[in-house]
């Protein structure tokens, strides 16, 4: 079943760009009309070669459309497109429409804070959401300046891409912006708590909903300090000043992504304003996200990709520069170590799937296809390859080429070829071989140690052959210590003199490849790992282990042995890319009986041996909660936490969610906890706990969310999916496995865009480890009548399931 709106084809974008040149947009938004819709009057001035084209528009209803003064029949609008007949020369198009507020994190998202009943609005125009806010020619290479006029409730503050004024209550007027692609336009409006500052001539701002004001006040100094440090470094590296006026960072509710780089008004998910205690890993994640979005002001905003197949020019660069600048100039010098835990396996897993694609030139024929490639390849792999390229070129040539690129295409659009020509002009030499092997060929090489043959083997993926050389460090364990040496692989087999009892290949991420811990090294690591103090080496060891497990080259039992020997409490944040979720979701369900109890005991041991008040103590307690099977123990922590840890909102809900999964609480207790502290964070956690209960009613609630019979915001949608499929509840959820595949195609009727794909993944039956489930997943993923985003995400879930089945077959537990 296909989407009700058409996805822009690349051929259509090329034709429209050849026909049109957009001079400017004037937008009038009335956000005070009601809480379901808003008024949107768009005036577009553009020149044309003359002839037919189409406008993008997704309204609730149209009041009037005029092209060059003549009325256009609104009934011509079909599936988000309005055909128009332009005249040669100047044209003016005025569209007066009523648009929908949305609750899926796209378009103009409106939410009500359960803490105080206040409503908040923000714009997320990415990919194809802009036409649900204003009439436009929605493609990245039709950039134009925007002038916004906003009517809002009198007690609201409004921020947009350009500086603005508030001449009278409820009226906001904004300056004409620099040329922007449609997907960068935003407006953030509501009774936000606002803090301002300035640096080097740039006005700075921070905002969050009023109920989180004290948390932002507590974090403001750190956020402003990092912002100033990053600006100074980007100005030093690029020699080009930030050109978009104000730099506002808005932390907004129910945001789908980590952040969005809108010029002048960057939007972030508001859980990045910490209302409960967090570990250093979460602070590093926030710091690198902040720097990533600032890097976009140059990579993406000053110069924007011509088409989505060059999205890596945005994301790979921002990922590389964000981590680099964070590590170089902020207090988080260990940002690259955290990146190893949080991002490396995300990219490697994506690159090994059937859905892998090149970093560059990914062949996106339409905007919907391009959306599927905002994945670990475009971020983590692209960043790693740019890091390699920088190491080869050196900073002087690397940044000279980048600056040339920004200068030649300032406020315009460009392609990968344009950038590489700039590098070659800067002295990089012929980069064609690098481009072919690393950027235009999908898949990673697999690098393994063959102890019996005394060689290191390099094997390119069979479906994507390439001839890549690799130079990287090897960590060698000798006499209780570690040394490193450099290895270069230029052939399929390279002789290697085994000097130590354990080897770790490429622990410091010098190259992009799947490197796996061999069985002998893994056995030795159980003894060696506890004494490894170098955090980068520890991260490299865990990535070797994760890759070997992913490819069924290391048993779940061996992984559990390592966890028990040296609990990985240095990286336990609640991201599916880190160690703890991998351990709970992938390893333990396949591990021998008693493994959960062994891991729990190890976490209790770590909890008792770590420094009171340290982040490791907090991490150990969180992992102990997640692995506990004893309701009395969990309730003991509700009554009294260990010294050095307070029972804040986050920890309380972690315990309640675990009690729910064990069937040791009920809906009434969970509702009482929500009523006691009815914040947005509580509402999401409550949903996850409520559907985790081992009852028919709980699973029916989750299913109503999946089918759209119960309409909830995007964060609660995710929570419902995560809580539904619980280990040990397979009998209760068995009937939903077939229902998932039967009903998934129809979800396109109740959601679209980002959350359509997300719901496919969130509700996939991850606990149904059977060949029949895999067969149904692969069959449905092959159905070309299914929405493309659903097919892609379903294919990836099927790959995950196939790997779990392969691991279970290789290492049966009974």
Average pLDDT of the segment spanning 638-652: 97
Q: Helices 535-550 and 344-351, interaxial angle, to 10°? A: 30
Say what percent of the chain tops pLDDT 70: 99
pLDDT tens for 219-273 read: 999 999 999 999 999 999 999 999 999 999 999 999 998 999 999 999 999 999 9
How buried is residue 452: exposed, middle or buried, by Cβ count under 10 Å (0-12/13-18/19+)?
A: exposed
Q: What per-residue confidence (pLDDT) applies to 4?
A: 64
Encoded tokens for 127:
């990919």
Show the domains of the chain with their CATH numbers: 1-190 (2.60.40.1730), 192-444 (1.10.390.10)
State the alpha helices, DSSP H only, in 56-149.
none
Q: Give the tens place of pLDDT for each residue, 523-563.
A: 999 999 999 999 999 999 999 999 999 999 999 999 999 99
Looking at residues 105-129, what average pLDDT do you find? 95
pLDDT at 501: 76
Report the alpha-carbon distance of residue 671 to residue 627 in Å, rounded. Answer: 24
Q: What is the largest CA-CA distance in the chain?
A: 85
With DSSP H G I counted as helix, E B as strand and the rest as coil, what are the percentages for the chain, rounded to 5? 45, 20, 35
- Amino acid 363: pLDDT: 62
Token reading at 209: 């909903």
Helix 213-238 with 280-296: angle, nearest 10 deg = 50
Instruction: Report the pLDDT value the prediction gives residue 1, as an integer from 0 to 100.
Output: 47
**pLDDT, average across residues 338-366:** 89
- pLDDT tens track for 552-598: 999 999 999 999 999 999 888 877 789 999 999 999 999 999 999 99
Contacts of 211 (CB under 8 A, 6+ apart): 113, 115, 116, 118, 679, 680
Task: Give the model's pLDDT for residue 753.
Answer: 82
Q: How confident is the model at residue 364 (pLDDT cuts 50, 70, 90)?
A: low
Annotation marks residue 293 as catalytic: yes
pLDDT digits (tens, 9 = 90+) for 683-726: 999 999 999 999 999 999 999 999 999 999 999 999 999 999 99
Contact 813, 590 (CB under 8 A): yes
Name every residue whose Cβ is closer than 8 Å to that of residue 145 and which is 6 or more positions away in sequence: 24, 25, 176, 177, 178, 179, 180
pLDDT in tens, 754-807: 899 999 999 999 999 999 999 999 999 999 999 988 999 999 999 999 999 999
Q: State residue 362's pLDDT score.
A: 60
pLDDT for the residue 367: 76
- pLDDT tier, 323 (very low <50, low <70, confident <90, very high otherwise): very high
Q: Is 373 helix (H, G, I), strand (E, B) or coil?
A: coil
CB distance 489 to 320 below 8 Å? no
Q: Angle at the Cα of 612 (from 606 to 618), degrees rounded to 5?
A: 60
Mean pLDDT score of the chain: 95
**Residue 790 in contact with residue 758, Cβ under 8 Å?**
no
Find the mean pLDDT for residues 322-351: 97
- Residue count (the chain): 814
User: Of the listed 106, 233, 293, 509, which one is catalytic?
Assistant: 293
**Percent of all residues in the chain with a pLDDT value above 90, rounded to a whole number:** 90
DSSP 180: B
Confidence of residue 310 (pLDDT cuts 50, 70, 90): confident
pLDDT of 5 > 80? The answer is no
| pLDDT tens figures, 679-692 | 999 999 999 999 99
Looking at residue 318, its pLDDT comes to 97
pLDDT per residue over 469-521, tens digit each? 999 999 999 887 899 999 999 999 999 988 777 899 999 999 999 999 988 99
Tens digit of pLDDT for each residue in 20-31? 999 999 999 999
Q: Which residues on adjacent β-strands are paired with residue 110?
A: 121
Q: Mean pLDDT across the stretch 749-753?
A: 89
Identify the band that residue 373 occupies on the pLDDT scale cut at 50, 70 and 90. Answer: confident
């Amino acid at each position: 079943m296909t989407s009700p709106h058409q996805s822009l084809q690349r051929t259509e974008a090329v034709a429209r760009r050849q026909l049109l040149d957009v001079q400017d947009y004037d937008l009038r938004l009335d956000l005070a009309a009601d809480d379901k819709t808003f008024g949107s009057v768009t005036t577009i001035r553009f020149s044309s070669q003359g002839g037919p084209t189409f406008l993008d528009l997704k309204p609730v209803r149209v009041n009037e459309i005029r092209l060059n003064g003549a009325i256009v029949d609104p009934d011509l609008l079909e599936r988000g497109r309005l055909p128009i007949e332009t005249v040669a020369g100047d044209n003016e198009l005025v569209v007066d429409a009523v648009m929908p507020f949305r609750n899926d994190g796209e378009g103009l998202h409106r939410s009500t804070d359960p803490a105080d009943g206040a409503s908040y609005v923000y714009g997320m125009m990415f990919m194809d959401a802009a036409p649900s806010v204003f009439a436009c020619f929605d493609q990245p290479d039709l950039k134009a300046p925007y002038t916004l006029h906003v009517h809002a409730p009198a007690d609201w503050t409004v921020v947009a891409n350009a500086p603005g004024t508030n001449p009278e209550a409820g009226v906001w007027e904004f300056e004409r912006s620099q040329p922007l692609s449609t997907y960068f336009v935003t407006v953030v409006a509501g009774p936000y708590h606002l803090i301002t500052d300035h640096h080097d001539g740039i006005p700075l701002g921070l905002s969050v909903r009023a109920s989180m004001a004290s948390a932002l006040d507590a974090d403001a100094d750190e956020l402003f300090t990092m912002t100033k440090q990053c600006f100074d470094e980007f100005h030093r590296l690029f020699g080009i000043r930030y050109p978009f006026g104000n730099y506002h960072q808005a932390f907004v509710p129910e945001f789908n992504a980590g952040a969005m780089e809108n010029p002048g008004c960057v939007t972030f998910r508001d859980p990045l304003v910490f209302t409960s205690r967090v570990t250093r890993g979460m602070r590093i994640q926030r710091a690198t996200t902040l720097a990533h979005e600032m890097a976009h002001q140059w990579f993406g905003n000053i110069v924007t990709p011509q088409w989505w197949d060059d999205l890596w020019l945005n994301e790979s660069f921002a990922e590389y520069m964000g981590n680099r600048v964070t590590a170089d100039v902020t207090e988080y010098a260990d940002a690259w170590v955290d990146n190893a835990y949080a991002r490396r396996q995300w990219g490697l897993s994506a690159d090994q799937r059937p859905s892998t694609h090149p970093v560059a030139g990914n062949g996106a024929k339409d905007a919907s296809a391009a959306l599927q490639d905002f994945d670990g390849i475009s971020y983590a792999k692209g960043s790693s390859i740019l890091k390699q390229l920088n190491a080869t070129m050196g900073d002087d040539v690397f940044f000279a080429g980048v600056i040339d690129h920004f200068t030649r295409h300032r406020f315009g659009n460009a392609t990968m070829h344009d950038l590489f020509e700039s590098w070659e002009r800067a002295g990089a030499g012929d980069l064609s071989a690098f481009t072919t092997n690393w950027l235009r060929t999908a898949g990673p090489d697999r690098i393994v140690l063959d102890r019996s043959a005394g060689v290191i083997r390099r094997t390119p993926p069979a479906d994507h052959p390439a001839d890549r050389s690799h130079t990287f460090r090897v960590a060698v364990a000798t006499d209780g210590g570690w040394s490193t040496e450099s290895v270069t692989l230029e052939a399929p087999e390279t002789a290697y003199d085994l000097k130590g009892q354990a080897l770790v290949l490429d622990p410091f991420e010098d190259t992009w490849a799947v490197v796996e811990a061999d069985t002998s090294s893994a056995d030795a690591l159980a003894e060696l790992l506890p004494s490894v103090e170098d955090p980068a080496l520890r991260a490299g060891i865990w990535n070797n282990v994760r890759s070997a497990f992913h490819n069924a080259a290391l048993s779940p039992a061996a992984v559990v042995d390592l966890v028990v020997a040296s609990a990985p409490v240095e990286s336990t944040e609640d991201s599916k890319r880190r160690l703890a979720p991998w351990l709970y979701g992938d390893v333990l369900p396949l591990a021998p009986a008693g493994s959960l109890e062994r891991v729990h005991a190890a976490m209790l041991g770590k909890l008792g041996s770590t420094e009171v008040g340290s982040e490791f103590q907090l991490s150990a307690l969180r992992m102990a909660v997640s692995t506990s099977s004893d309701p009395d123990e969990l309730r003991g922590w509700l009554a009294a936490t260990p010294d050095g840890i307070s029972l804040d909102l986050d920890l309380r809900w972690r315990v309640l969610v675990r009690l729910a999964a064990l069937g040791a609480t009920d809906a009434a207790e969970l509702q009482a906890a929500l009523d006691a502290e009815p914040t947005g964070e509580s509402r999401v956690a409550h949903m996850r706990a409520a559907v985790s209960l081992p009852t028919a009613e709980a699973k029916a609630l989750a299913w109503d969310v999946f089918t759209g019979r119960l309409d909830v915001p995007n964060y609660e949608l995710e929570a419902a999916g995560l809580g539904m499929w619980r280990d040990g509840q397979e009998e209760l959820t068995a009937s939903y496995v077939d229902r998932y595949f039967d009903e998934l195609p129809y979800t396109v009727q109740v959601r679209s865009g980002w959350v359509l794909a997300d719901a496919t993944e969130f509700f996939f039956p991850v606990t149904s480890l059977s060949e029949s489930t895999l067969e149904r997943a692969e069959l449905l993923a092959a159905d070309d009548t299914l929405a493309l985003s659903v097919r892609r995400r379903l294919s990836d879930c099927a790959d995950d399931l196939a790997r779990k089945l392969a691991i279970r077959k290789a290492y049966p537990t009974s």
